[in-house]
């Protein structure tokens, strides 16, 4: 397994300064760029940078390096409730997309369009909620980063939970953006 932290010369920690990471990537990519060398390590450097830039994948990678395979555990209650809410909203957005697309009568189509505004508002509200949750998790990462230096083992379970929750947030945000774009395309 490649240690992406070592590859880019970054200390193994839960939180990584984005500017330092970018500088490390820039230095390494200058050395290994395909225009400068025949080595094929440039794609590995790109993959390492992308992994370490993403907090969820960075923490998962860190945990795997430090502790081997760590069981992800279960989703928390707050995320379980939110998942149900998001699943319902995504299903409704899909139904609205099909409903509007199926209307051939201008009057019926106009009536269907009226339902899109509130649906887009609901999607935006959920996206805002997910963004707030993500920001809260990033603050937790920063707090755990300080503890990591003292006792990585003590941080492990919290980091596992955070990585899992961040992964869910990323997936759900992506799904919401996809539905929003579809609805805006139909409405536009």
pLDDT tens for residues 99-121?
A: 877 777 777 767 777 778 888 99
pLDDT tier, 33 (very low <50, low <70, confident <90, very high otherwise): low
**CA 17 from chain center: how many Å?**
17
* φ, ψ (nearest 5 deg) of residue 60: -60, -45
Do 163 and 110 contact (CB within 8 A), yes or no?
no
Percent of the chain with pLDDT over 90: 62
Q: What pTM does this model have?
A: 0.84
Extract the tokens encoding 179: 């539905």
- Residue of higher predicted confidence among 74 and 169: 169
Do 165 and 76 contact (CB within 8 A), yes or no?
yes
Three-state SS at 187:
helix
Residue closest to 57 by CA, chosen among 172, 171, 179: 171
Do 42 and 33 contact (CB within 8 A), yes or no?
yes
Domain ranges across the chain: 4-53, 77-187
Cα angle value 113/118/120 (rounded, 5°): 85
> CATH classification of 4-53 is 1.10.287, yes or no?
yes
Do 4 and 52 contact (CB within 8 A), yes or no?
yes
Residue closest to 96 by CA, chosen among 108, 75, 113: 113
């Amino acid at each position: 397994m490649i240690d992406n932290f070592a590859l880019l010369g970054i200390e193994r920690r839960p939180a990584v300064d984005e500017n330092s990471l970018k500088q490390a990537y820039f230095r390494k990519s200058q050395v290994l760029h395909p225009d400068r060398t025949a080595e094929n390590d440039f794609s590995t450097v790109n993959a390492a940078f992308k992994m370490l830039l993403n907090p969820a994948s960075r923490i998962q990678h860190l945990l795997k390096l430090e502790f081997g395979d760590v069981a992800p555990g279960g989703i928390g209650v707050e995320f379980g409730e939110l998942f149900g809410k998001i699943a319902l909203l995504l299903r409704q957005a899909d139904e609205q997309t099909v409903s509007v697309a199926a209307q051939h009568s201008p009057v019926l189509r106009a009536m269907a369009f009226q339902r899109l505004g509130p649906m887009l508002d609901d999607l935006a509200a959920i996206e805002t909620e997910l963004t707030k949750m993500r920001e809260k998790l990033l603050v937790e990462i920063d707090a755990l980063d300080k503890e990591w230096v003292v006792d990585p083992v003590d941080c492990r379970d919290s980091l596992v939970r955070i990585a899992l929750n961040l992964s869910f947030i990323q997936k759900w945000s992506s799904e919401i953006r996809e539905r929003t774009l579809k609805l805006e395309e139909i409405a536009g």
